[in-house]
Chain A
């Protein structure tokens, strides 16, 4: 069964460092998303991406965040200068054209120290 894959599963980084979280969405999916979940809190929308551009972003997704689809398979989330409060589980999701369900990856646990 096709699945969304994310790497790494866990990343520890020092405050102020840049991190790149990687995702390989399900092939032939067209809509891509990043969500995050701070420990013990709800899943929060960060950004949606379609046709090589951001279609919607939340207040969380400020200038420190960026997304890219560098090739036909990867979808990345970059945080330029990490803060302690960026520590969370980051989920990538993708959805096919005309489909209802968004499929989530297993997540990357980001710990900023």
Chain B
């Protein structure tokens, strides 16, 4: 099975940096995703890591350590619009034709204050 843990909530100040950690235990691993979800809306893709290391994409970066079952999402130069939930998700292996479902953590709600 899959078990994915991330903090429930974080608060940060506009312009600051916030790091959201995610730890996972999985029976199969085929990549780790971070999604952003505003209240009542669909998750939107932020980043993907399948190999160890850091992936940078503008103000957002994501890091993966497969040996430690650990990832983090780094949000820099926080803006008010970044207030949202950030979902860590692991893509598994298995199922016919590599269906590769995503298993999500509970999400981290980030509140950006002025």
A residues adjacent to B (C-beta < 8 A): 31, 33, 35, 41-45, 48-51, 53-56, 58, 89, 91, 100-107
The CA-CA distance from A80 to B48 in the complex, in Å, is 36
Q: Measured between alpha carbons, how far is A95 from B100 in the docked complex, in Å?
A: 10
Would you call B101 and A56 a contact (CB within 8 A)?
A: yes
- Please choose the segment from B15-23, B66-74, B75-83, B89-97 that sits at the chain A interface, where 4 or more of its residues have CB less than 8 A away: B89-97
Whether a CB of chain A sits under 8 angstroms from the CB of B43 is yes
Q: Are B105 and A42 in contact (CB under 8 A)?
A: yes
Least CB separation from A39: chain B residue: B40
Q: Would you give 30 A-B contacts (Cβ < 8 Å), ordered by A?
A: A35-B102, A41-B106, A42-B87, A42-B104, A43-B87, A43-B89, A43-B102, A45-B102, A48-B95, A48-B100, A48-B101, A49-B99, A50-B97, A50-B99, A51-B97, A53-B96, A54-B96, A55-B97, A55-B98, A55-B99, A56-B94, A58-B101, A89-B40, A100-B48, A101-B45, A102-B45, A104-B43, A104-B44, A106-B41, A106-B42
Nearest-neighbor residue (CB-CB) of A43 within chain B: B104
- Say yes or no: B95 contacts A101, CB within 8 Å: no
Please give, as numbers and ranges, the residues of chain A lying within 8 Å of B48 by CB-CB distance.
100-101
Query: Please, which residue of chain A has its CB at the minimum distance from the CB of B44?
Result: A104
Interface residues on B, range: 20 to 34
B43 touches A43 (CB 8 A): yes
* Chain A proximity mask over B29-58: 1 for CB below 8 Å, otherwise 0: 001000000001111110010000000000
- Which of A54, A56, A107 is packed against the most chain B CB atoms within 10 Å? A56
Residue of A43, A45, A55 with highest tally of chain B CB at under 10 A? A43
Which A residues are CB-close (under 8 A) to B101? 33, 45, 48, 56, 58
